[in-house]
Structures are given as C-alpha cells and as structure tokens.
A and B are shown apart, each in its own frame.
Chain A
Amino acid sequence: MAETILAVDDDIDILELVEASLTADGFDVITASNGRGALESARDHAPDLILLDLMMPEMDGFEVIERLKSDAATRTIPVIMLTAKAQTHEKIQGLRSGADDYITKPFQLDELTARIEAVLGRTRPTKYINPLIGAMGDQFSESGVEQLAFHLKTAAIIQQKLLPQKSPDLPGYDIAGVLRSSMTISGDFYDFIPLTENHLGIAIADVRGKGIPAALLMVMIRTALRLVCREESSPSAALKRINDLLFADTDPDLFATMIYGILDTESMTFTYSNAGHCYPLYLKNEGSTITSLKAGGMILGSFDFATFQSETIHFAPGDGMLLYTDGATETEREDDGILYGEEKLIECIDTNKHLSAQMLCDAIEADLLRFSGKQNHRNDDLTIVAIKVKHGEK
C-alpha cells in the first residue's frame, strides 16, 4: 500500500508541484493550504508523513507542530519542515519542537524525495505500533512508558504476594513449590490453602496465554478458588464452580487448566480433581515407580457442560506427588525444537527423588535449563509443586 504524505503550504503553486512530484514517486498525496486544515487532515487521514511549511498566515508551522505533538492521534507522525529562509534559529526551533528534518526553499525535487525516504525509513518500524497508541492512551510518551513499567512492576509485586510466601509446615510432609515467570507477571500460579488442622488445599494452575491478560485471569481464578474451596468439600465440585464462574464471565478461548486437591494428613490421602492440566506424577512404593495419573475433566472456563471427577490417592511413607505446568514438558531444545516431555521429566524425578521437595523442584528446573540450551531465558511460565511423605513419622 502506498504511503500517504500530507503536504501543507499556503503557496498553491508549490503545493501542486510537490503533489505532482510525490505522486509520480508512488506516494498518495493529500494537501492542506493552512494550519487548521493540516491538523484536520492529519487527524482524519493519519498520513505517514507531513511536509509542513513554516511560514503561513494565521497558524504558523511551529504552532501546527506543537498541536500535532500534543495530540495522541497525531503525535507520532513524522514532520519535515519547509523553511523559506535559511535561518538557523528557525530550523533549530522547528527541530526542538519535534520536527524530524527540514528542507530549505527553494529545493530540488530530488532532495525532497530523498529526505522523505530517509525519514520514512527511520519511522516505518514504529508505525506498526501506532494502533496501540490509541488503546494505551498516553503510554507511549516517555513518562507513559515509565508509568507502564511502574504499573507492571506493581502488578508483579501484587501477584507475588498472592503466591505462598512459605511452604506449609505439616508434620510428616515435605511440600514445596516454585514459580518462574517468563515475563514480569505470570499466568501460572500455585497455592497452599490451610482448610482445617489436618486438611491442606493444594492447587496448581496455568492460564492460557501470557502477560497481562493471563495475569488478570490468574488473579480471578485464584480468588474464586480461595472462596469456593471453603464451601465445597470435594475438589471436583470446587472446580465445577470455578468453571461455571469463568464460563459466565469470559470468552471460550480464555481458559485455564488446573489441579486442585486436598491433602488429608490424618488419613494420608490426596483427593484431587484435574481440569485439563498436565497429569500429576505419582511416586509410588517409596518412589520406585513413577506413574502419571490420567483421570480428569475438561479445561476450565470454555464449556458450561464440563464435568469433573475426584480421585483419591492413598499415600504411604516415602511416596510423593509432583504437579507441574506445561512450561516443564514443553520446554523446547534450542537446537532442534525437540520438547522435553513427560518421559524426561520422570527420569529427572527418578534421579532426584531422594532430595527434599524444594531441592527436587530446583533439580528439575536446572535440568530444564540444561536441556533447553538457553541461558536463563524461559519462553513460558514454569511452576512445580512437590509433595513428599516423610519416613518414620506421621
């Protein structure tokens, strides 16, 4: 698509000449013969560049630039000034007020084209974020970017506070969780919720997508879980209620996967329900066999008819359970794009099963990093929760 140039000059002869020349160069040209018309055209047509005469009656070029730069809709349009006199102070004033370049009249048409091409070459890359500017208000000014960064940082701190600040201290159990975000804020979360003296709610979830939208949904789901888990004694009923809440409030493509379970330290059972989440890995017979538990229901929030089932695991001393998000199994090897996968994860757990819950999480994280071949960079959020039943005490 041809780029559009808005040419502004009160001299009709010059306007016609410029229009003919730039049209021949393949640009779409619109014209205005005064400052007010220029501002209107700039707003209505969002040209790719404005060629602006400084010396005009009523509103001069400086004022036009000032107004263009104070309007979010026109702020980013590059401006080339046309100055009649070779006066240095005028050029400096123009450049200071935000013009990108200047041309001194009289000028060669070749020079005009060359300068336009040079300015467009510099500004083309940023043009594509222009549509965002309307949506983000003032965020693209320098103070706006600073403010956005501050908001993100604050959001990250709020979110960090929604994660367990320390591992639950349950006699006979060793429980830990880690969350590594690929961005400042995360779509993953895990939670430890003390329900009664010997019942602990344990959750892990992965919200579709990344960044701000995922983080908002994460907060919503975490809040819903915190409220619902006190009213529903079965994990499947809790997930069903969260599903219905999400279904009512969001589009079907916004969904989450989640495991919610209740650890009963008295009966040594873990009763859980899985909503489309990565299968929990069960370390049985003191961890000598590691199996993935495939029972479960649909993803959360996409279907009103989704149903969920609960399943109960009976723990023995030495057993364990590992919950994780797909940031683990879908870690991609940089060289060939091969995915880490469940099998490798099981191998890694098998190698490190003697470690404490926290160290097991750390060992898996380290193995994923080694596998990916990347230095410290994650493409997706990663969350791991490890539950280990201690030996000899209960």
Chain B
Amino acid sequence: MEIVVRRRDDVTILDVAGRIAGSDSLDLKRAIDAQIEIAAGNIAKIVLNLERVRIVDSFGLGVIVAAYTSIQRNGGRIALLNVGGNIKNLIVMAKLMTIFDRYDNEDEAVASFQ
C-alpha cells in the first residue's frame, strides 16, 4: 500500500493506492493515527482518497471504521473520496453508507469542512 499525505488549507488528504487488506491495512491505521496526533488538540479534518484502491477487505474496513470513531471522538471528521467498486459494495453491505460522508470530487470534499 502507498499513502501520500497532502494538505489543502487545513484539510489533510491521504491518497491511498493498492490494497487495504489484511495486515497491510495497519499502514493506513498508522498514517491516520499520525494525522490525529499532528492535529493534537485541533480538529482533525481528513479526506481519505480511495481512487487508486483496488481492494478493501473486512480487516481494512475495520481500520476505516476505527479511524472514523477515533476522529469523531476528537471532534474531527473524516470524508471518503472516490469510493468505488468493491469498496462501495462492502460499505453498502455493512450498512455504513449513512455513517461515512462520501464525495466524488476533491473540491467538494475539501469544501465540506469549511
């Protein structure tokens, strides 16, 4: 898995590529935890760009769910960008469509934090 961290204004964008599956998912967990730590005290505003993610398994979904919970607990918010294919099916099946804010356009995702 490759993760590139970018910033737009006060929003952090994580471009993820590859598979969020099995123990590889822990890379994403570490990256998100690091962002929560960097935000320290301030509200974490995170966009998870999944455009180049091929597969998410249940382990990976667990990491995203845990990220949602810990960011929420810190008063922050996480938005998902470009949720497609297998990931969309997984989120629909897990009935998490109502939990995650999803966007197909980066500008909209970033603007949603303002």
Q: Which residues of A contact B (CB under 8 A)?
A: 206, 208-209, 251-255, 257, 276-279, 296-299, 302-303, 326, 330, 339
Which B residues are CB-close (under 8 A) to A276?
93-96
A208 lies within 8 A of B96 (CB)? no
Residue from A209, A277, A278, A339 within 8 A of B62 (CB atoms): A209
B59 within 8 A of A: yes
Which B residues are CB-close (under 8 A) to A302?
62, 65, 69
Residue from A209, A252, A257, A277 within 8 A of B69 (CB atoms): A252
How long is the Cα–Cα vector from A278 to B89 in the complex, in angstroms? 10
How long is the Cα–Cα vector from A209 to B22 in the complex, in angstroms? 7
B63 within 8 A of A: yes
Residue from A253, A255, A279 within 8 A of B93 (CB atoms): A279
B58 lies within 8 A of A206 (CB)? yes
Closest to A274 in B: B95
Given contacts A251-B66, A255-B65, contact A326 B99 (CB under 8 A): no
Which A residues are CB-close (under 8 A) to B99?
298, 303
Chain B 22-34, CB-CB to A under 8 Å as 1, else 0, gives 0000000100000
Residue from B57, B68, B95 within 8 A of A330 (CB atoms): B57
B74 within 8 A of A: no
For the A-B complex, the count of residue pairs with Cβ-Cβ distances under 8 Å equals: 51
A254 lies within 8 A of B94 (CB)? no
B86 within 8 A of A: yes
Shortest beta-carbon distance, B6 to chain A, in Å? 25
How long is the Cα–Cα vector from A356 to B57 in the complex, in angstroms? 32
Shortest beta-carbon distance, B71 to chain A, in Å? 11
Which A residues are CB-close (under 8 A) to B66?
251-253
Which B residues are CB-close (under 8 A) to A277?
93
B94 lies within 8 A of A208 (CB)? no
**B65, B86, B96: most-surrounded residue (chain A CB, <10 A):** B65
Q: Which parts of B26-83 form the interface with A (CB within 8 Å)?
A: 29, 57-59, 61-63, 65-66, 68-69
Shortest beta-carbon distance, B32 to chain A, in Å? 11
A299 lies within 8 A of B65 (CB)? yes
How long is the Cα–Cα vector from A276 to B62 in the complex, in angstroms? 12
Which A residues are CB-close (under 8 A) to B61?
208, 299
Which B residues are CB-close (under 8 A) to A296?
95
Which B residues are CB-close (under 8 A) to A253?
29, 62-63, 65-66
Closest to A252 in B: B69
A298 lies within 8 A of B62 (CB)? no
B58 lies within 8 A of A278 (CB)? no
How long is the Cα–Cα vector from A251 to B29 in the complex, in angstroms? 13
A298 lies within 8 A of B96 (CB)? yes
A278 lies within 8 A of B93 (CB)? yes
Given contacts A252-B69, A330-B57, contact A208 B62 (CB under 8 A): yes
Q: Which 5 A-B pairs have the closest CB atoms?
A: A253-B66, A253-B62, A276-B94, A252-B69, A298-B95
B58 lies within 8 A of A208 (CB)? yes
Closest to A255 in B: B62
A299 lies within 8 A of B94 (CB)? yes
Shortest beta-carbon distance, B69 to chain A, in Å? 4
Which A residues are CB-close (under 8 A) to B62?
208-209, 252-255, 302
How long is the Cα–Cα vector from A339 to B57 in the complex, in angstroms? 12
Closest to B96 in A: A298
Shortest beta-carbon distance, B31 to chain A, in Å? 15
Which A residues are CB-close (under 8 A) to B68?
252
Shortest beta-carbon distance, B110 to chain A, in Å? 26
Closest to A275 in B: B95
A208 lies within 8 A of B95 (CB)? no
Shortest beta-carbon distance, B81 to chain A, in Å? 21
How long is the Cα–Cα vector from A279 to B90 in the complex, in angstroms? 11
Which B residues are CB-close (under 8 A) to A252?
62, 65-66, 68-69
Shortest beta-carbon distance, A235 to chain B, in Å? 15
Which B residues are CB-close (under 8 A) to A209?
58-59, 62
How long is the Cα–Cα vector from A257 to B65 in the complex, in angstroms? 14
Which B residues are CB-close (under 8 A) to A339?
86
